[in-house]
Amino acid sequence: MSHYEHQIIEKKWQDIWAKGVFRTEDPNQTDKPKYYVLDMFPYPSGAGLHVGHPLGYIASDIVARYKRLRGFNVLHPMGYDAFGLPAEQYAIQTGQHPAVTTEENIKRYREQLDRIGFSFDWSREVKTCDPAYYKWTQWIFIQLFNSWYNPVSNKAESIDSLIQIFEASGCNNDIHPFSPEEWKSMDEKMQSSVLLNYRLAFLSEAMVNWCPALGTVLANDEVKDGVSERGGHPVERKLMTQWSLRISAYAERLLQGLDKIEWSDSLKESQRNWIGKSTGCSLHFNLENPVGDVSSLEVFTTRPDTVFGVSFLAIAPEHELIDNLCTGIYRQAALDYTEKAKNRSERERQSEVKNITGAFTGSYVIHPFTGKKVQIWVADYVLGGYGTGAVMGVPAHDSRDYSFAKFFNLDITEVVKGGDISIESYDAKEGILINSDFLNGLEVKDAIKKAISEIEQRGLGKGKTNYRLRDAVFGRQRYWGEPIPVYYQNDIPKVLPIDQLPLRLPEIDKYLPTETGEPPLARANNWNYNGYPLETTTMPGWAGSSWYFIRYMDPQNDQSFASKAALDYWKDIDLYIGGSEHATGHLLYFRFWTKFLYDLGYIPVDEPAKKLVNQGMIQGTSCLIYRVNNTNKYVSFGLKDKYETTAIHIDVNIVEQGNTVQLDKLKLWRPSEFEHAEYELENGKLICGNEVGKMSKRWHNVVNPDDVCNDYGADTLRLYEMFLGPLQDAKPWSTQGIEGVLRFLRKFWRLYHSGTNESFFLSDEEPSKAELKILHKTIKKATDDIDNFSFNTSVSAFMVCVNELQDLKCNKRAILEPLSIILSPYAPHITEEIWEMCGHTTSVSKAQWPAFNPEFLIENEFNYPVSFNGKVRFNLNFALDKDLKEMESEILNNEQTLKYLEGKPVKKVIIVKGKIVNVVA
């Protein structure tokens, strides 16, 4: 074979690899260090993979192959996040079992992945919908149910330890304190409901995001801008009894843990914002007229220093005392307002943020320090679900309070110097306190401390930390998810015994809720345990993905979720690659479950992934053609402004060079529309417009990697996706430039084919200094670039290397064999073929990464750019160890120097060794 024929080579090696070349080594049989590189596993959708999906997989595969060459035992698995809404929606429409369609999709994904030449260890594949897998997801749920978060030891512990505390010393929290005797006298149901307030998996009545169109509840991260993330359906708030996970118990540790992991700053920042820690204090304002036994309103503030600037109190429309506080002539108007505010949907409230609304309740509180009467208002900018649902209004130093006070003409008292409160509020946390009695003259930071200590001393409140992070709703009114292993004995929720797992998903006739509105599982026959009804909601999509990285370590184990030996060897993920869209969902839940399992001693690490890299999205480039309105005529891009036109998306696969529509293919694509249409061309061509956006069927801009593999080969696809730009950046897909990569591989191939009739030939001659320099320069660059995830520049380094070796007509084995090893992580098929032609009988993936020898790069001279006042004028060659004084005099005596000095005296000569010379005149 003298030509590079990618179809033949790639098929050949993929078949050989499928025999288990990339099987992970058993930790007991090897002393190699471990390296765990993981991709976020895909949801197998019916649409298959597009060219954007493999981007991260290619990067991780390069790292995996590189680490193997460096002598690591690499765990590089792949699997499927296989439970989820789309399969179920499809089942509802077609009646096909989601397990069947999911399995078909997985098969197609696998074929597509195999064509790209990934080195996954498929013997470790996991599927979250497999009962052998979800048995352990259910097992973890049971552990969560059987645990509570002990604030003293600051970790999760068995619920039994809490029961012991209750039996020995009762409970003295503010909400429902009880004595040991009272605890013992409670019946089972009462005890169970008390314990539910502590269990990490718990049943509670809570405000949830209810999506009527999907017929299910959604977690906070599954709702974007008031609509569901999947499908874009409206979401409303609804009070429901739901299974939830107490992630809020881990808020502080999830925050602290970020400091010790190597994740991108933007991603850590998203998680910090989502956790939303704020420190401040609670503060009680006594009511002028107490309501029953409630004598005060509690607010939470991060700015207790501004307490002397309070000119009103504002409470949320959901506040529990609202009915009691609305009094006198203001009562009706205030209640009307409350009712209206409560009925507005989340979406409306969000879209009308700028509108200032509120109503005076007619009630007052007494300012704890000044003794003055302060009005209580109800306002929808105060949220019922955060803090205490009540805030102190300090218009001078909070922009929302400021707009509110301006709108309703309330007092604005400046208490921190630094701004101009006649124009806007001064929110900054710096300045000197004024008009504030005992705080006067203090800096804000000190004033906050002083105010809190004063508040605590007078018994008005306490220093306090609040988190925005809410507990995660865990039940879904859906079929296609893990059944929750819970049954109800006399209405008391109990978890199934471990030996009853997995609790298999039952067969049902239809995948819809029952006529009475119960979840689909209620349709199942005999859905009970020993006659007691089983839970009918299922787990959310993120349950299985919260721990899958552990299962890959020991995927077939049926005694435990992974053996201790496997866990101790593999520990955590060294490199995790995936999209940033999971920042506040999956990546938070998976850290939470890891910390939980760590607390119970099941795993040896409390952070799942040491390093995380977000690959950017590959966007689609849509192609648009322009139809003249009310006609059947289409005009080329440059002519569209002459008419009133409508842009129409057409299939990108019938467009050449990014903008030339192939008319014959267009007519075949949609004959009814285009076969008999009229076309106005430019230079004989129909030119289309372009638009960059998400790659999706809807815009006809999906490019299938299979097509690219057919036309150019998997090695070209791999190199090209890496060459496009930095891994982390978003970039639109375009095949402009892919030819260059194919050309590079052909050149590379030709280096090894310098024999007669371009047959394979390598010379065993000693390589020259120049050849060794090129090779070692490239080894160094390739090594450094993989460590820095700078794959685009290493591809260009390979191109430079091949160009230079070609110029030298290099055909030396001592150069070209190591070159094929360092290229092999990027272009595994062509390098396997060449490695075999070189006479090796084992895979190039079993070779050793060539050692970099810096001696070959040592230069003894350097061609210095000589600049005058910073402008480079000419170059001079000097030995690198030359005496600087001598250099200086030689430069100054150079005839060109005289020319550029233009007679001016030399002030200074700066010589930076091996870099530059600058003459200052």
Partner RNA sequence: GCCCGGGUGGUGGAAUCGGUAGACACGCAGGACUUAAAAUCCUGUGGUAGCAAUACUGUGCGGGUUCAAGUCCCGCCCCGGGUACCA
Footprint on residues 364-383 left by RNA (CB under 7 A) = 380-383
What span, in angstroms and rounded, lies between the C-alpha atoms of 272 and 256?
10
- Our CB check for RNA shows the closer of 190 and 800 to be 800
- Our CB check for RNA shows the closer of 398 and 482 to be 398
Closest approach, Cβ 873 to RNA, in A, equals 6
Q: Is 273 in the site for RNA (CB under 7 A)?
A: yes
What span, in angstroms and rounded, lies between the C-alpha atoms of 616 and 726?
8
716 token code pair: 């070209």
Contacting range for RNA; rule: CB under 7 A; set: 211-219, 296-304, 822-830, 883-891: 296-304
What span, in angstroms and rounded, lies between the C-alpha atoms of 375 and 311?
8
Place of tokens 């079993």: 846
Q: Is 629 exposed, middle or buried (0-12, 13-18, 19+ CB in 10 A)?
A: exposed
Contacting range for RNA; rule: CB under 7 A; set: 45-53, 160-168, 178-186, 860-868: 860-868
Q: Is 817 in the site for RNA (CB under 7 A)?
A: no
Closest approach, Cβ 249 to RNA, in A, equals 17
Q: Is 607 in the site for RNA (CB under 7 A)?
A: no
- Our CB check for RNA shows the closer of 14 and 614 to be 614
The distance of Cα 857 from the centroid of its chain, to the nearest Å, equals: 41
Which of 200, 275, 391, 421 touches RNA (CB under 7 A)? 391
Which of 89, 193, 270, 296 touches RNA (CB under 7 A)? 270
Q: Is 721 exposed, middle or buried (0-12, 13-18, 19+ CB in 10 A)?
A: buried
Angle at which helix 769-787 crosses helix 813-823, to 10 degrees, equals 10
Q: Is 123 in the site for RNA (CB under 7 A)?
A: no
Which of 241, 736, 842, 889 touches RNA (CB under 7 A)? 736
Which of 19, 260, 676, 908 touches RNA (CB under 7 A)? 908
Per CB under 7 A, which of residues 301..330 are in contact with RNA? 301-303, 316
Closest approach, Cβ 244 to RNA, in A, equals 17
Per CB under 7 A, which of residues 447..476 are in contact with RNA? 466, 468
Contacting range for RNA; rule: CB under 7 A; set: 114-122, 267-275, 329-337, 604-612: 267-275
Listed in sequence order, the residues at least 6 apart from 312 whose beta carbon sits closer than 8 Å to its beta carbon are 374, 375, 376, 377, 393, 404, 405, 410
Per CB under 7 A, which of residues 641..700 are in contact with RNA? none
Q: What is the DSSP string of 338-368?
A: HHHHHHS-HHHHHHTTT----EEEEEEEE-T
Closest approach, Cβ 874 to RNA, in A, equals 8
Per CB under 7 A, which of residues 543..582 are in contact with RNA? 580-581
Per CB under 7 A, which of residues 740..759 are in contact with RNA? 740-741, 743-744, 746-747
- Our CB check for RNA shows the closer of 191 and 302 to be 302
Closest approach, Cβ 132 to RNA, in A, equals 34
* β-sheet bridge partners, residue 533: 528
Q: Is 842 in the site for RNA (CB under 7 A)?
A: no
Among candidate residues 403, 386, 387, 420, the one with its CA nearest the CA of residue 312: 403
What span, in angstroms and rounded, lies between the C-alpha atoms of 683 and 636?
10
Q: Are 553 and 565 in contact (CB under 8 A)?
A: no
Q: Is 849 in the site for RNA (CB under 7 A)?
A: no
Q: Is 867 in the site for RNA (CB under 7 A)?
A: yes
Q: Is 398 in the site for RNA (CB under 7 A)?
A: yes
Tell me if the bond preceding 850 is cis, omega within 30° of 0. Answer: no
Q: What is the DSSP string of 210-236?
A: EETTTTEEE-GGGEETTEETTT--B-E
Closest approach, Cβ 871 to RNA, in A, equals 6
- Our CB check for RNA shows the closer of 29 and 409 to be 409
Closest approach, Cβ 664 to RNA, in A, equals 19
Which of 241, 355, 632, 768 touches RNA (CB under 7 A)? 355
- Our CB check for RNA shows the closer of 747 and 773 to be 747
Number of residues that bind RNA (CB under 7 A): 87
For 576, the enclosing helix (H) or strand (E) is strand 575-578
- Our CB check for RNA shows the closer of 468 and 667 to be 468
**Half-sphere exposure of residue 463, counting CA atoms within 13 Å on the CB side?**
9
Q: Is 173 in the site for RNA (CB under 7 A)?
A: no
Q: Is 269 in the site for RNA (CB under 7 A)?
A: yes
714 token code pair: 């998997």
Checking DSSP bridges between strand 390-393 and strand 312-315, what pairing results, if any?
antiparallel
* DSSP classification of residue 306: G
Angle, CA of 330, 333 and 338, to the nearest 5° = 115
How many other β-carbons are positioned within 10 Å of the β-carbon of residue 207? 15
Place of tokens 């030891």: 153
Q: Is 94 in the site for RNA (CB under 7 A)?
A: no
308 token code pair: 């002397």
- Our CB check for RNA shows the closer of 18 and 730 to be 730
Among candidate residues 36, 129, 38, the one with its CA nearest the CA of residue 78: 38
Contacting range for RNA; rule: CB under 7 A; set: 132-140, 322-330, 760-768, 784-792: 784-792
Q: Is 713 in the site for RNA (CB under 7 A)?
A: no
Which of 723, 748, 849, 852 touches RNA (CB under 7 A)? 723
- Our CB check for RNA shows the closer of 579 and 604 to be 579
Q: Is 521 in the site for RNA (CB under 7 A)?
A: no
Which strands, in side-by-side order, build the sheet including 201-211? 216-218, 201-211, 236-245, 472-473
Q: Is 358 exposed, middle or buried (0-12, 13-18, 19+ CB in 10 A)?
A: buried
Q: Is 913 in the site for RNA (CB under 7 A)?
A: no
Per CB under 7 A, which of residues 797..816 are in contact with RNA? 799-800, 803, 806-807
Per CB under 7 A, which of residues 189..248 are in contact with RNA? 221, 224
Q: Are 213 and 228 in contact (CB under 8 A)?
A: yes
Q: Is 152 in the site for RNA (CB under 7 A)?
A: no
Closest approach, Cβ 432 to RNA, in A, equals 20
Which of 386, 527, 602, 643 touches RNA (CB under 7 A)? 386
**E strands within 738-897?**
861-868, 871-879
Report helix, strand or coil for 462.
coil
Among candidate residues 523, 501, 504, the one with its CA nearest the CA of residue 512: 523
- Our CB check for RNA shows the closer of 81 and 221 to be 221
Which of 61, 88, 222, 785 touches RNA (CB under 7 A)? 785
Closest approach, Cβ 280 to RNA, in A, equals 5
Contacting range for RNA; rule: CB under 7 A; set: 63-71, 488-496, 820-828, 867-875: 867-875
Q: Are 162 and 194 in contact (CB under 8 A)?
A: no
Contacting range for RNA; rule: CB under 7 A; set: 238-246, 561-569, 782-790, 845-853: 782-790
Q: Is 352 in the site for RNA (CB under 7 A)?
A: yes
Per CB under 7 A, which of residues 15..74 are in contact with RNA? none
Q: Tell me the Cα Rg of the chain.
A: 34
Q: Indicate if the alpha-carbon torsion angle 492, 498, 502, 506 is positive or negative.
A: negative
Render the burial of 523-544: b for 16+ CB within 10 Å, e for the rest.
bbeebebeeeebbbbbbbbbbb
- Our CB check for RNA shows the closer of 564 and 904 to be 904
Q: Is 729 in the site for RNA (CB under 7 A)?
A: yes
Per CB under 7 A, which of residues 276..295 are in contact with RNA? 276, 278, 280
Q: Are 43 and 82 in contact (CB under 8 A)?
A: yes
Contacting range for RNA; rule: CB under 7 A; set: 40-48, 238-246, 590-598, 909-917: 909-917
- Our CB check for RNA shows the closer of 552 and 868 to be 868
Q: Is 730 in the site for RNA (CB under 7 A)?
A: yes
What span, in angstroms and rounded, lies between the C-alpha atoms of 102 and 50?
18
